[in-house]
Amino acid sequence: MSREPTALLLAAFLITFVLTRTYTRLARVRGWGSASANGVHLHHLVVGIVFVLLSGFIEIAARPQGLWRDLIAIVFGVGGALTLDEFALWLYLRDVYWTEEGHRSVDATVMGVLLAGLVLVGLHPFGVHDGGRAPRFVASVVVLVSVLLALVTFAKGKLTLGVISIFVPGVCLVGAARLAKPHSVWARRFYGAPKLERAAQRFESSASWASRWHERFDDLVGGAPTAHAMFAQACQTALGRLRGQQA
């Protein structure tokens, strides 16, 4: 199967994400206004969804080939980048673009790039095409164990490592064996107070190298949160809790 459409999709995704983040950061610094339609703020997420839906519909309905297939891949890549760049908006259902919660968009984008890149280089899920001479039973056991360990990795809140483990055999061993993130399904189900405290110190403490590295990476790619946005976020959170208590 030709890898050219995947390469074009990935290139369009990366270029669009870089241009979008560059523009939004310049707009924040220079005070440029946001696009609107009839007085309603038009998030670029909307444009991304239209592009993804349009390219998906054409691919399913017409199955284009040649240049048209490459064009559809580019449109889908552009739409995917615009959509994932505001992943936090459709996750939290509010505009958190310049807050710490907005950094979830960067995480989602990294996972999208990683997934497309792994497919592009020709890796297969759980290495099902590796070692074709191995007995079918052994191969089935290896795939089953890999699936289970990948699920454990996801349950521990390590989404990026989980995606890598699907395509790179052995990575799931590291993800499944290491400490889970404190708010993950695994930690809430199986960890007691001492282990939860260890997890919080490793992944959330400002003294943790993992937490510092992740924060610096998100700030570098997505931009550091603004004081105004953080204050607005805190007010929204407090208001939501107050309404919940009154209900």
Concatenate the DSSP letters of all residues of 28-87 into one string: HHHTPPPPEETTEE--HHHHHHHHHHHHHHHHHHH---THHHHHHHHHHHHHHHHHHTTH
Asked if residue 143 and residue 171 are part of one domain, the reply reads yes
Asked if residue 104 and residue 182 are part of one domain, the reply reads no
Name which residue leads in pLDDT, 106 or 208.
106
Asked if residue 12 and residue 75 are part of one domain, the reply reads yes
Asked if residue 25 and residue 118 are part of one domain, the reply reads yes
Q: Which of 96, 122, 148 finishes a domain?
A: 122
Highest mean pLDDT out of 15-24, 120-129, 222-231: 15-24
Domain membership of residue 221 (yes or no) is no
Residue 142 belongs to what domain range?
123-187
Asked if residue 132 and residue 75 are part of one domain, the reply reads no
The one-letter amino acid at 132: G
Asked if residue 135 and residue 36 are part of one domain, the reply reads no
Domain membership of residue 225 (yes or no) is no
Tally of domains in the chain: 2
pTM: 0.80
pLDDT band at 126 (very low <50, low <70, confident <90, very high): confident
Asked if residue 61 and residue 41 are part of one domain, the reply reads yes
Domain membership of residue 235 (yes or no) is no
Domain membership of residue 196 (yes or no) is no
Asked if residue 105 and residue 91 are part of one domain, the reply reads yes
Q: Which of 84, 107, 122 finishes a domain?
A: 122
Give the pLDDT score at 122: 78
Q: Which of 161, 187, 213 finishes a domain?
A: 187
3-state DSSP assignment of residue 149: helix
pLDDT digits (tens, 9 = 90+) for 145-164: 888 999 999 999 998 889 88
Residue position matching structure tokens 């890598």:
164
Asked if residue 143 and residue 70 are part of one domain, the reply reads no
Please give the Cα distance from 91 to 83 (Å, whole number).
12
Domain membership of residue 67 (yes or no) is yes
